[in-house]
Amino acid sequence: MNPWGLLLGAITAVVTALVLFSNKQKEVNLQLKNTERCYQRANVQTAAQEHHLRQLLKTANDTNKSYNERKKAVDELNRLVPQYNKQLTVETANTDKAKQALDRYIDSIKAAAVKKYLKALVDQKAEALAKQEYSSLEENIAWYERALNGMKNFGNPIAAMSDDIVTATKNKVQNVKSKRRTESCYRSSS
């Protein structure tokens, strides 16, 4: 065995492993970025509602406010927050139990918002997959691949066309697999 051949084989194996790892890392980073974007959108969507509810609880707990103002805040909290079961009173508003119930409710509305955005993302990925599955072979071959096939076949149009079909089919299969993998990642995270 030639030592240069072994060295070249080892270098090729390392480079291949790095490229495969890099591609998988990019896919994971994209999924994390999209998931983080869903959480950010959910937080933005629920921020006003969360602020309003916390202000109501703060008003209900503020002993410097009149009893009527505090009662009005408690009534509004009872109406908006199902976890209170209409059992919150001016006297019980300043308890850890009331705060924990409000925190659970806020967490549930945030979770619902995240679920909504993740579902929209999954639907978007499923639509892209369906579009790729039903795309024509013409849409799956680049101009440079056509040119390469033409040169490879020394101007023989029938052989070049045959190679174009093979190349386009391989590209389509690869694109569909990639989209399926991406969609399944998003389905599993939602």
pLDDT for res 187 = 66
**Mean pLDDT rounded to a whole number for the chain:** 83
pLDDT tops 70 at residue 1: no
The string of pLDDT tens digits covering residues 110-162 is 999 988 988 888 888 888 878 877 777 777 778 888 788 888 888 788 888 88
pLDDT band, residue 181 (cuts 50/70/90): confident
Tokens describing residue 36: 């983080």
pLDDT for res 54 = 92
Tokens describing residue 184: 């399944």
The string of pLDDT tens digits covering residues 79-107 is 888 887 788 888 888 888 888 888 989 99
What average pLDDT does this structure show over 27-43? 84
Separation of alpha carbons 127 and 120, rounded Å: 10
Question: Cα separations (Å) of 110 from 41, 47, 66, 106, 186?
Answer: 10, 9, 32, 6, 19
pLDDT band, residue 189 (cuts 50/70/90): low
pLDDT tops 80 at residue 16: no
